[in-house]
Amino acid sequence: MRVLITGAAGFLGSHLCDRFLAEGHQVVGMDNFITGHPDNIAHLIGHEGFRFVQHDVTDYMYVEGPLDGVLHFASPASPVDYLEQPIPTLKVGSLGTHKALGLAKAKGARLLLASTSEVYGDPQVHPQPETYWGHVNPVGPRGVYDEAKRFAEAITMAYHRFHGVETRIVRIFNTYGPRMRPGDGRVVSNFIVQALRGEPISIYGDGSQTRSFCYVSDLVDGIYRLFNSDRVDPTNIGNPVEFTVRELAELVLRMTGSQSEIAALPLPQDDPKVRQPDITVARSVLGWEPQVPLEEGLRRTIPYFEQMLRDPRQSARTL
């Protein structure tokens, strides 16, 4: 196949490029580097199956030649990013998804939309199945990301129903691993960087809120299987093993050997109290479930951040 991956220089997009190339496919990567970074795809430059286009997907998208798939992963995806860039976040979820769908329609390609567990908001159903409609504050600060993704899902299904475009929707739960930007504000990267620097570990509230952490290779495998499946309705991909944020902080401290203390900060507005995927569909339809437990995933991730912090050229990305 020949596929376009938007957000190709981002954390997940770059790993997806690796997977499709490893499977023998051709990849066109697209990114405008708002939150992605050239270093994430530097190893692919010169690869005979890879081509890169620097472009903002909210503008008209053109890709020369045939395409079999469009995987739309362009978007700020961490609270730090979408709170600092609310308008671009809304635009990439709406205009960007519209452009990606238009390109898929023109090429006769299958589109896979990267959606998010954030469509469930601060859930009142636990764990969250795909049939749950969510509990989102549309006018709160997090609404710019939550509603952008909810709109993206709606227009994707409209293109499927009205135009007959082949579509897939993945709802991604908390994911971590190498190539996360150290300063992106996500809990795993935050805790590891703070621990390695000997800074206080910042937890919000009392740390009793829960998250489910999926290692990036597991997530990419689930996405690859979903893309190649016949499943049209949204599909949860994530690790259903639930941890409190305080448990994560304590594990990071133990694994890094850090002497950092845990510091409690005020809980942000609309911060979800629980987050755990129901992956019954992924298990039954895709034959997928995560293989990498949290401790093993952290063991693979911590050295990446250690290297980042040792490299003066990279340290600016941690600010």
Catalytically active residues are: 145
Q: How far is the C-alpha of 178 from the C-alpha of 230, rounded, in Å? A: 30
Task: Judge whether 90 and 48 are in contact, CB under 8 Å.
Answer: no
DSSP type of residue 206: T
65 alpha carbon, distance to own chain's centre: 28
For residue 299, the tally of other CB atoms under 10 A from its CB is 12
DSSP type of residue 113: E
Q: How far is the C-alpha of 272 from the C-alpha of 275, rounded, in Å? A: 7
- R_g over Cα of the chain: 19
Task: Judge whether 229 and 286 are in contact, CB under 8 Å.
Answer: yes
Q: Detail the DSSP E strand segments found in the chain.
A: 2-6, 26-31, 50-54, 69-72, 110-116, 167-172, 175-176, 201-204, 210-212, 214-215, 235-237, 242-244, 262-265
Which tokens go with 111?
A: 């589109």
DSSP type of residue 40: G
Length of the chain: 319
